Amino acid sequence: MVAQETKEPTQEESEAERAHPRGLAGLARLGDAARTGTWLAEHRTTVLWVVAGIVGVAVLASLPINLGRAAIGGVSQGAVYALVALGLALVYTSTRVLNFAQGEFGSMGAYAASALVVGVGFERGDVGLVSLFVAAFVAVGVGALIAVLTNLLVIRRLGSAFTALVATAALFMLMQTAQFLAFGLQRPFPRIREGTAFAAFGTNVLWQEVVIVVVLAAVAALLAMLFRTPLGVALLASAQEPYAASLYGVSPKTMSSLAWGTAGALAGLGGLLAGGVFRNIEPGFMTTDYLVPAFTGALLGGITSMSGAVVGALLLGLVTTIAQQLVTSYQLDSAIPNAPVASSFVVLLIVLAVRPTGLFGKKG
């Protein structure tokens, strides 16, 4: 054993942390100690949430935004964030890699769909059922394929979390530039269904938004079922216990590829849906517009929690949509060109400063 950093037993370390909580955690603990048995004290957290909620709604109502639009737009925006965030959380949970290329798996899927699925009406924007399925198959397949290859050819050969992070950043640049070289600056992309589905909450709900939310719901249901199977349990545990996977007869290698592949597929789906939002795609669009909000959403939910990632991403969708509306109504577009991203890293900074483990993350 070569001159290593001195290591106390890790359990002891974390216990030391718990024994000496710093900063906000320490304050909260002091508050815990001062608790009395009254109803108010017992339900303090709930009361605080309710109060915060009322104040929040009051503030929102007083803002120059359309609340119905913000809610609908926020949920559909958040749903795409959630697809990317799920992949980030899955990859982080099972391989402890912060994946910078997650967004680009989606861009590649979208580009592949727009390049390959021609001649069935996809490129013209009248998406029939057949071309839709083919496009979805291509986007998801390409996303998953690139993700699995990334894991097998690059990530598994690297030692530290730091090198893996740099490698995924390099892959992001690689894919973004490749898209630019192959397809140029912009490429039209169809919506799955054009037009308005129905009117509600004082706003028109677009088919596009309905489709996105339905897809997220379906994906969430599927994943929820997957994570209840022994395989899914092992998948989520594989970072902590690499050999737990082998108990189910699956090698750790296959297990990590499964995690990356699923993440890539989710990103591909996200790319397909996000491509239609602006009706065109640009090189690296899934990174520039979706990666930071997805990181923030995943972190907000506690990066090792799948349901947390979905909830965090949906919350963030609301925040970014409201931010966008505010920026528009106060005419700040020139100062803040990308309000969703700008607002999401403000949230990211707040989360990291106040509660790095996120809303639902486990401590330690």
Partner 1 sequence: MAVLSARDVSISFGGLKALTDVDVEVNENEIVGLIGPNGAGKTTFFNCMTGFYTPTSGDVFINGERVSELRPDQRTVRGVGRTFQHVGLVRSFTVLENVMVAQHRKVGYGLLSGLTGMPWALEEDKVLRARAYEVLDYLGLAHLADERLGGLSYGMLKQVEVAAVLGTDPDVLMLDEPLAGLGPEESDEFGERLLRMRRDLSLTIVVIEHHVPFMLRVCDYIYVLNFGRLLAEGKPEAIRQNRDVAEAYLGEGAATLA
Partner 2 sequence: MSDTVAQPPVQAPTEGPAHGATGPPATWRPSPTGMIARALVLAGLLAIVLAAPPMMPGVTTNILSRVAVFVIVALSLNILIGYTGQISLGHGAFLGAGGFAAGIAITNLGLPWAFAQVVAVLVGGAFALLLGLVALRVKGLYLALVTLAYGLFAQEVLFGLGWVSRGGAGMPADRPEWAMGDVAYAYVCIAAVALIWALDWRLTSSRAGRAIQALRDSEKVAASWGINVTSHKLLAFVLSGMVAGLAGGLFASVEQLVSTQTFTLELSLTFLFMAVLGGAGSRPGVVLAAVLLGFLEFFLDQLAAAFDLAVDGSAAPLFSALLVLLVLLFVPGGLAQLLRGVFRWLSFQPFRDPRGDDDSQPAMGGGDGGRP
Residue 157 binds partner 1, judged by CB under 8 A: no
Binding track over 37-76 against partner 2, x by CB under 8 A: ----------------------------------------
Residue 346 binds partner 2, judged by CB under 8 A: yes
Question: Parallel, antiparallel, or unpaired for β 187-188 and 280-281?
Answer: antiparallel
Residue with Cβ nearer partner 1 (15 or 241)? 15
Question: 154 contacts which partner out of partner 1, partner 2, none, CB within 5 to 8 A by kind?
Answer: partner 2
Residue with Cβ nearer partner 2 (81 or 172)? 172
Residue 58 binds partner 1, judged by CB under 8 A: no
State which of positions 8-37 bind partner 1 (CB under 8 A).
8, 12, 15-16, 18-20
From the CB of 352, what's the least distance to partner 2, in Å?
A: 5
Per CB under 8 A, the list member of 91, 302, 348, 361 interacting with partner 2 is 348
Residue with Cβ nearer partner 1 (5 or 32)? 5
Residue 177 binds partner 2, judged by CB under 8 A: yes
Per CB under 8 A, the list member of 120, 134, 152, 178 interacting with partner 2 is 178
Question: 37 contacts which partner out of partner 1, partner 2, none, CB within 5 to 8 A by kind?
Answer: none
**In the complex, which residues of this chain contact partner 1 (CB under 8 A)?**
1-8, 12, 15-16, 18-20
**In the complex, which residues of this chain contact partner 2 (CB under 8 A)?**
2, 5-6, 23, 98, 154, 157-163, 165-167, 169-174, 176-178, 180-181, 287-288, 292, 295-296, 299, 334-338, 341-342, 345-346, 348-349, 352-353, 356
